[in-house]
Amino acid sequence: MRVDAAGRQLRLLHVHAHPDDESSKGAATTALYVSQGVRVMVATCTGGERGDILNPKMDTPGNQENIAFLRAREMDRAREILGVEQVWLGFVDSGLPEGDPLPPLPDGCFAVQDVNEAAGRLVKVLREFRPHVVTTYDENGGYPHPDHIMTHKITMAAVRDAADPTKWPEHGEPWQVVKVYYHMTFHRRRFEKLDEVLHENGHERVYAERLSRMDDHLTQRLTTFVPCAEYFHVRDDALRAHATQIDPDGFWFAVPLAIQKLGWPTEDYQLVKSMVPVTLPEDDLFAGLDTHFVDRLDTWFYSI
């Protein structure tokens, strides 16, 4: 079991927008830390109620009408595969608006909530679970889905408020998260390298079209590379558990596992806040926590 400098079991909280996000972003990292005895929890903001059936094999009569039930069942299976705890925050999926101009978001959905009020639900989770490390999306949501952007907003607000004894006193004793990271695995450098290794090993390149639409701005933000290739198969199993969302013959599995391990054996992050001294780049989300005791509630040591 991994512990911090005070001898407490290390704890990691991933905050995600929908069921399946925990499996498509950072799932091999999760499996690595679970194997090391880290306690890991996923907080899922919405139930994915407005999601579509993205796997053609699951697009059968009745499934779209039962999407909320199906996605909850899929989340249960993915949770078991990853070995994590999971909590639903209970917000309603906003859907992904399409059209020009974009239609208004549905009344009452997650993305139209007041950020500071909505953060209260996550403050309760933070104070009860007391994670050392929290991961979420960047200010653009990783991609501009309104629920992903809102997830970023409430996570950053909740991390701030959870440490403030004057905020949400009904949710328990204050808790200072020590480190906060953004998921950054889907960046240009990774796709370029995978395409290169595919070609070198006699396979067709698969990312040319995607690369033509990508710039390099995320690469400049990378700080942390977690070696977790030996758990890529666990990630893939968790992805397949979300059968309404993940086509087993589609994009997620276009690159053979051996090529992925050889070409880019890490999942990548941006460290955005830390209460312990850091040396970048890192290879561990918990770097510094085993040697530095944190007892401050009022300031960040490192912040972008």
pLDDT digits (tens, 9 = 90+) for 214-223: 888 888 999 9
pLDDT of residue 245: 92
Strands 224-227 and 179-183: unpaired
Give 266-304 pLDDT, tens digit per residue: 999 999 999 999 999 999 999 999 888 876 655 667 776
Domain 11-186+221-303 class? alpha beta
Give 99-151 pLDDT, tens digit per residue: 777 789 999 999 999 999 999 999 999 999 999 999 999 999 888 899 999 99
- Distance, CA of 236 to CA of 205 (rounded, Å): 21
Give 14-43 pLDDT, tens digit per residue: 999 999 999 999 999 999 999 999 999 999
From residue 5, give the alpha-carbon distance in Å to each of 34, 73, 173, 276, 289: 19, 38, 21, 11, 6
Cβ atoms of residues 254 and 208 within 8 Å: no
Spans of all domains in the chain: 11-186+221-303
Cα 255 → chain centroid: 21
Classify residue 67 as exposed, middle or buried by CB count within 10 Å of its CB (0-12, 13-18, 19+): buried
What three-state secondary structure class fits 109?
A: coil
Mean pLDDT of 235-244: 96
What three-state secondary structure class fits 216?
A: coil
Torsion angle of C-alpha atoms 255, 182, 87, 162, degrees rounded to 10: 170
What three-state secondary structure class fits 67?
A: helix
Instruction: Give every CB contact of residue 2 below 8 A, 6+ residues apart in sequence.
Output: 9, 10, 33, 36, 37, 38, 286, 290
Give 159-214 pLDDT, tens digit per residue: 999 999 999 999 999 999 999 999 999 999 999 999 999 999 999 999 989 998 98
pLDDT of residue 63: 76
Instruction: Give every CB contact of residue 91 below 8 A, 6+ residues apart in sequence.
Output: 45, 46, 109, 110, 113, 118, 121
The greatest distance separating any two alpha carbons of the chain, rounded to the nearest whole angstrom, comes to: 61
Instruction: Give every CB contact of residue 10 below 8 A, 6+ residues apart in sequence.
Output: 2, 3, 4, 33, 37, 38, 39, 132, 133, 286, 289
- Distance, CA of 243 to CA of 237 (rounded, Å): 11
Global confidence as pTM: 0.95
Find out whether 18 is annotated in a ligand binding site.
yes
pLDDT of residue 22: 98
